[in-house]
Structure 1
């Protein structure tokens, strides 16, 4: 499974795309844990002090926010695309 990372998250990870050992039948949360284990510099930016996903971090599966579709317990399927976004601002 591959994560696409954006903005400062890509900078912290050292890459815009990071492959992790997660696949169909596992969850988005499993894939996120694999990402954070591989790129520990992301952990503090992505998780709060209780180990929960920070409210301002967006996790997308196939372009949709996982919070609207089962959260981190959403089961992965073959071909899923995962993305991690920090808060977006602009004008």
Structure 2
């Protein structure tokens, strides 16, 4: 996962620049905090006209389970035609790993 600033600090006309990492660990120290994974205090905006020091893909986000399933049944309808019944479900587990 790549953390982005959301601002054009490098003055390039885009907002997809990375911040400076100012703490050794970007993660929230207390894993019991609900909806908290990254520590906002671990990042700072780079100086105007410069790029941040954080690399791309340096942060690992929470794991997730994604389970998609489908059932298909095809019935012949004469010699040349078929009827297909299909049922699909996406993200059945809808669950994030702890």
TM-score by length of 2: 0.24
The structure where strand makes up a greater share of residues is: 2
The structure where helix makes up a greater share of residues is: 1
Larger Rg: 2
TM-score by length of 1: 0.25
Task: Flag the structure with more relative contact order, 1 or 2, with Cα contacts below 8 A and sequence separation at least 6.
Answer: 1
